[in-house]
Structure 1
């Protein structure tokens, strides 16, 4: 296959960097912002420019302990509210986000480098998460009360877990906070949340905006490092469940720390999503789907369509279509236009990791059909990249690069496609592209992933669960399943003869 030389991408810059409304300084504990127990701070930067935009506290063990104490003090009163009362709070939170969406979108873009379309989708999805959960919290069902043992009536009760610790990632700061706050509070729990030290601003701003709607101590936020704040949340004896969205390594550390107090753990971890393109697929639609889902949020997405398995008979045509799509992508900083699709890597450290991954690709002898290079400073921009001539078992088929890089490998039979797709430690998401109704129904059942799309990729709805298998963790976000994950089942049996 012959492809034209890689075209030179460029970064479109905004005419000026917009000012953003920063949240108050300090930790959000007991319903208000208070000074951190630690004097240490960390700069938060705009990855599109590399410039600092704020500094936040590097929280301490004492900050976490204070936040947990506030959550413990508030938990009985919050657990005693009715589903209707909690639902009304969640509805009000959704309305507040809606009323302040422009401010939140701008802050999110400034802290993450997200293009306008991604930031807008994040805020819209956060609103929908709260609105869905507000309704779902009033509709939980379980086994009907009845006589399952002679002379005894059984009643099943869904209770809050208690105090929930939450650790959210840097790639979707506001949205991942919403995915946890909504069901945790909707189920009647109180919580302590640690946002990523790289992207804490929108979560802190949310706390500022909703402080008057959520009773003091129900929601607490402590900024700081995973090694200090995350570790203390995970091991704290008064936290009943800890939930993390993050890397596999981070999830392993959380689970290990949580084991000391035998608390429940909810893990939404990494992914390496295979995209199986069969010989009867609509190749144009598949290429467009990979353009959207492989490079959404600059590929910094655990469900990204990053590993393409295409039937050998259509591999050349599909690759040409995909390269054409990728070459048309618009790269830019926040504020550079509504048509910008690709923003920067989140940080200098991650930028270096992705570039190191591309150097590994070159050492392995794979072909880079388009992209593969850093873009001009300032900021941490990398060209959208398509890697071809990837053999079975190559490192790139297993390693989560977490950047704007997709790889293409070929297969010859359906069985081989399924076997190869499953040859990964991850099990978060996958997609199947085919015109066959038989394949549409049969292949997803054989794929070991928590979500499998057919003829689409990375389409998410609040009504359906999100979560993985294997190394991608366990537990479910979104849907009624999230409310179940953040509650516990109690059986009460009454002896009618007593």
Structure 2
């Protein structure tokens, strides 16, 4: 495989004369939300919220303490019995009302999300749309839950299986999809009859706080509580708190390990949706043009800050040249820029300076190791934390860039010769969230998908999600499932009640 190194030439499209995405009136209260009301934190402990497209501070939120978490958990404990006693129809109606409220504020939520994360407006609108759909799905699912049939499984004894809420759930959400990842937890947690305390990422708290503001009158006090803060303090206290019955996290592998350790002391349940390093296995009978076109979206959606991103291509050597040529052609035409620079913007910045440094560090080390750059390859001129959409080729087996989660706009390309080799190498990563198989052979598609050690495997597509089907991984990607009725199961417990009816 041969190709020529090429940096994306268009650079970052700026929006100097465009109106701002948000005004001060659009911002939520920069406070914690506890027991149905916004409360002040310590005024001397504030966290800057930065627009990663411009590096400007757009808000400051209080840095939550262990005491703030304790106060929120106490409110959730006080509110749990009332919420749990509601019948499914009543909770369903509240969730539909939440979805309606969000739908009425779609534009505001999308603009706020883009201002806080830098993501294109098209991505933020998609996030809001799926957020609404997640609440609508869970509102319906809670009214149609199924369980083992009641019956006599021991002579003269009637067994009844009950599904009960767990109680208080601690939720920790990431910076890449602040509103959507919150919804993936909140909707099933609330549908199942639990109360909760959520700690959003300290980098991207604005849409979570706006959510609380928008739905404050729809939920009883104590059901939803939001505490801002850092993981090492607020997150750690939430994970270890003895009155929290389960901790649910979407985040990095390191965060997952820390949460699991903190939760072990009280033996609470743990739900972890962690990182991914999705292989894209392209066989010789696949359509290279279709695969390259799909990866334009699946590899660079949300600037590659996506745990299911199509970031690691394993392509058969016989079609590798054609595939890379088509992929590079797609990547060179991606529109990079600030979200307010146009509706056609496809790729935004990294979320922070620290993450920008992390991604560009991966690229520098890859080039130093002899990996060749076919497109992109480094930072774009500031302000803002922009990295050029990148394709790395001639990547040797076991290279850092092909094994570690870069979490940026980077696709690596490796080649293989035999199916057995492709499956072995696809599985030879510590993460197991998602993968895709590209082939026109139905038998091969079924056989290879069955052998891939990943929680979701797409065939001839990648990064297609639906509320009805589960999302979650194997191995280092964690355990537990988001979306679908399986998420409802995660946030409930089973109780067996047996009645002796012998006469």
- Other-structure match for 1:28: 33
1:54-69 matches, within 5 Å, as 54-69=59-74
Kindly provide the CA deviation profile for residues 367-393 of structure 1, in whole angstroms up to 9, marking residues without a partner as x. Answer: 011101211111000100000001111
1:370-381 matches, within 5 Å, as 370-381=375-386
- Other-structure match for 1:74: 79
Q: In the aligned structure 2, how far is the partner of 1:205 from the partner of 1:347?
A: 21
Deviation at 1:116, TM superposition (A): 1.1
Q: Judge conservation of contact 1:37–1:62 (CA < 8 Å) in 2.
A: no
Deviation at 1:125, TM superposition (A): 0.5
CA distance 1:5–1:443, shift in 2 (3 Å): same
TM-score (norm 1): 0.99
- Other-structure match for 1:286: 291
Q: In the aligned structure 1, how far is the partner of 2:63 from the partner of 2:29?
A: 15
Q: Judge conservation of contact 1:38–1:59 (CA < 8 Å) in 2.
A: no
Q: Judge conservation of contact 2:3–2:374 (CA < 8 Å) in 1.
A: no
- Other-structure match for 1:13: 14
Q: Judge conservation of contact 1:170–1:198 (CA < 8 Å) in 2.
A: yes
- Other-structure match for 2:360: 355
Q: In the aligned structure 2, how far is the partner of 1:209 from the partner of 1:4?
A: 49
Q: Which of 305, 315, 320 is the matching residue for 1:315? A: 320
The alignment status of 1:462 with 2:471, answered yes or no, reads no
Q: Judge conservation of contact 2:279–2:434 (CA < 8 Å) in 1.
A: yes
Q: In the aligned structure 2, how far is the partner of 1:435 from the partner of 1:6?
A: 33
TM-score (norm 2): 0.98
Kindly provide the CA deviation profile for residues 67-114 of structure 1, in whole angstroms up to 9, marking residues without a partner as x. Answer: 000000000110100000000010001001100010100000000001
Q: In the aligned structure 1, how far is the partner of 2:6 from the partner of 2:260?
A: 47
Q: In the aligned structure 1, how far is the partner of 2:183 from the partner of 2:373?
A: 38
- Other-structure match for 2:140: 135
Q: In the aligned structure 2, how far is the partner of 1:77 from the partner of 1:450?
A: 36
Q: Secondary structure at the match of 1:74?
A: helix
The alignment status of 1:187 with 2:188, answered yes or no, reads no
- Other-structure match for 1:440: 445
Deviation at 1:25, TM superposition (A): 2.2
Total equivalences in the alignment: 498
Deviation at 1:9, TM superposition (A): 3.0
- Structure 1 stretches (4+) deviating beyond 6 angstroms? none
- Other-structure match for 2:275: 270
Deviation at 1:6, TM superposition (A): 3.5
Q: In the aligned structure 1, how far is the partner of 2:29 from the partner of 2:344?
A: 32
Deviation at 1:346, TM superposition (A): 0.1
Q: In the aligned structure 2, how far is the partner of 1:203 from the partner of 1:285?
A: 37
The runs of 5 or more residues in structure 1 that have no matched partner are none
Q: In the aligned structure 1, how far is the partner of 2:315 from the partner of 2:67?
A: 53
Q: In the aligned structure 1, how far is the partner of 2:394 from the partner of 2:205?
A: 40
The runs of 5 or more residues in structure 2 that have no matched partner are none
Q: Judge conservation of contact 2:8–2:388 (CA < 8 Å) in 1.
A: no
The alignment status of 1:122 with 2:123, answered yes or no, reads no
The alignment status of 1:94 with 2:93, answered yes or no, reads no
Q: In the aligned structure 1, how far is the partner of 2:486 from the partner of 2:99?
A: 20
Deviation at 1:7, TM superposition (A): 4.3
Q: Which of 218, 232, 252 is the matching residue for 2:223? A: 218
